[in-house]
């Protein structure tokens, strides 16, 4: 991880593209992989797709693509979406045979009158458009599932949804666990022509009930982009985000004039006020206005984000934590 070379708070400053903002520290190396083409004048749309594709292929990320943890029965399913505007968005969920949900989602956006394809239909659509079928379950993820089975199995209702270590053997305490655990890759891009784009890719909650779909592929929940309002992306416990249309809510706040930090705070306040909030729940958002002001916030400690601009690639803490010390 590279620290920002000075103590400025880029959250508060208007930025000019090219700029990439990605969830979690693994976003830094994904941003870096996408950067050469993006900084040479590539579009925000191509850049956000490239960031997610990089994460899909990294077997070390246990919540996205190959390397992601499977559902309760040991089967993989992937979700993702991409968005430029309310008129230009695409999504797929419960994909079982193809590795790159955002690539399929972009085809849905570009080549169909639809927004979302699910399950078998999404896989058939991907094959029909020339995308290769690939194994999605890595040997490490299979082993993790087998270990869990040996310990009694079950679905994810008893573990932190973004947790790849339900028994707590890897981390010294809860914060360490959050800090080292990861969830959805969500990425926002602002290119040198001032165009915003966003994308999400995830294998969803580990050990999920088969068929479960979270916020990531649902336009307005895990991701929303409106050239007139801004863009927001969420990560964490999808069910909490889905209950309040989290990304759409953040963008609507910005459309009404809110700064990104205030928009995110409104979303997190609504989540924090839930009567059924659990200690293992986490949600974080990144938001950016069309003028380049951006920010990030998390419900609990442990979230980090990656940003890339002309100064390099950086991993940093969010601007604020709604429930510090929890
Ligand atoms: N945020 C990812 C999920 O809940 O599936």
Q: For residues 287 and 258, what is the distance between their CA atoms, to the nearest angstrom?
A: 11
Distance 151 CA to ligand 1 centre (A): 24
Residue nearest to atom 4 of ligand 1 (CA): 238
| Closest to 199 measured CA to CA, from 6, 66, 31 | 31
Residues with catalytic function? 184
Give the residue, 17 or 268, on which the prediction is more confident. Answer: 268
pLDDT band at 176 (very low <50, low <70, confident <90, very high): low
Q: For residues 178 and 279, what is the distance between their CA atoms, to the nearest angstrom?
A: 11
Whether the pLDDT of residue 180 is over 80: the answer is: no
pTM, to two decimals: 0.91
For the segment 261-282, the average pLDDT, to the nearest whole number, is 94
For the segment 242-247, the average pLDDT, to the nearest whole number, is 97
CA-CA-CA-CA dihedral for 169, 24, 75, 281, to nearest 10: 70
Q: Which of 77, 159, 161 to mutate to test the pocket of ligand 1 (most atoms within 8 A of CB)?
A: 161
pLDDT value of residue 7: 37
Q: For residues 80 and 99, what is the distance between their CA atoms, to the nearest angstrom?
A: 11
Kindly report which listed range (15-29, 217-231, 233-247) carries the lowest average pLDDT score. Answer: 15-29
pLDDT band at 226 (very low <50, low <70, confident <90, very high): very high
Whether the pLDDT of residue 312 is over 80: the answer is: yes
pLDDT value of residue 13: 61
In percent, the amount of the chain with pLDDT more than 70 equals 87
pLDDT value of residue 302: 84
Q: How many CB atoms lie within 10 A of CB 5?
A: 9
Whether the pLDDT of residue 188 is over 60: the answer is: yes
Q: For residues 5 and 252, what is the distance between their CA atoms, to the nearest angstrom?
A: 33
Q: For residues 252 and 274, what is the distance between their CA atoms, to the nearest angstrom?
A: 21
Core vs surface per residue 47-76: b (16+ CB within 10 A) or e: bbbbbbbbbbbbeebbbbbbbbbbbbebeb
CB 198 within 8 A of CB 48: yes
Model confidence pLDDT, tens digit, residues 45-92 = 999 999 999 999 998 888 899 989 999 999 999 999 999 999 999 999
Q: Which of 183, 186, 207, 218 to mutate to test the pocket of ligand 1 (most atoms within 8 A of CB)?
A: 183
pLDDT value of residue 100: 98
Return the biggest CA–CA distance within the chain: 53
Q: For residues 131 and 126, what is the distance between their CA atoms, to the nearest angstrom?
A: 5
Model confidence pLDDT, tens digit, residues 284-308 = 999 999 999 999 999 998 889 999 9
pLDDT value of residue 206: 87
For the segment 198-221, the average pLDDT, to the nearest whole number, is 95
For the segment 140-155, the average pLDDT, to the nearest whole number, is 84
- What does pLDDT average to over the chain? 89
Residues in contact with ligand 1 by the CB-under-6-Å rule are 183-184, 202, 204-205, 214-216, 235-238
For the segment 204-218, the average pLDDT, to the nearest whole number, is 94
pLDDT band at 163 (very low <50, low <70, confident <90, very high): very low
pLDDT value of residue 298: 95
Whether the pLDDT of residue 168 is over 80: the answer is: no
pLDDT value of residue 326: 77
Distance 34 CA to ligand 1 centre (A): 23
Residue 82 burial by Cβ neighbours in a 10 Å radius (0-12, 13-18, 19+) = buried
């Amino acid at each position: 991880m590279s620290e920002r070379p000075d103590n400025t708070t880029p959250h508060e400053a208007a930025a000019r593209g090219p700029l990439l903002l990605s969830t979690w520290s693994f976003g830094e190396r994904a941003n870096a992989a996408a950067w050469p083409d993006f900084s040479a004048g590539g579009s925000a749309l191509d850049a956000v797709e490239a960031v997610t594709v990089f994460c899909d292929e990294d077997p070390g990320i246990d919540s996205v693509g190959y390397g992601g943890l499977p559902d309760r029965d040991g089967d993989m399913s992937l979700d993702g979406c991409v968005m430029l505007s309310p008129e230009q968005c695409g999504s797929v969920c419960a994909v079982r045979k193809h590795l790159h949900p955002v690539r399929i989602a972009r085809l849905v956006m570009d080549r169909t009158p639809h927004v979302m394809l699910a399950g078998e239909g999404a896989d058939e659509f991907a094959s029909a458009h020339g995308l290769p079928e690939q194994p999605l379950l890595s040997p490490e993820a299979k082993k993790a599932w087998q270990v869990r089975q040996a310990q009694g199995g079950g679905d994810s209702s008893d573990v932190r949804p973004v947790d790849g270590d339900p028994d707590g053997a890897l981390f010294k305490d809860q914060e360490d666990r959050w800090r080292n655990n990861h969830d959805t890759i969500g990425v926002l891009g602002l290119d040198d022509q001032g165009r915003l784009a966003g994308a999400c890719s995830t294998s969803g909650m580990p050990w999920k009930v088969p068929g479960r779909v979270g916020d990531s592929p649902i336009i307005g929940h895990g991701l929303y982009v409106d050239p007139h309002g801004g863009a927001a992306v969420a990560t964490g416990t999808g069910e909490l985000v889905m209950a309040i249309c989290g990304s759409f809510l953040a963008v609507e706040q910005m459309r009404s004039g809110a700064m990104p930090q205030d928009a995110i705070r409104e979303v997190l306040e609504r989540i924090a006020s839930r009567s059924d909030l659990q200690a293992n729940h986490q949600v974080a958002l990144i938001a950016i206005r069309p003028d380049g002001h951006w920010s990030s916030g998390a419900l609990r400690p442990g979230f980090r984000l990656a940003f890339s601009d002309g100064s390099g690639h950086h991993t940093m803490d969010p601007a604020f934590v709604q429930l510090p010390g929890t």
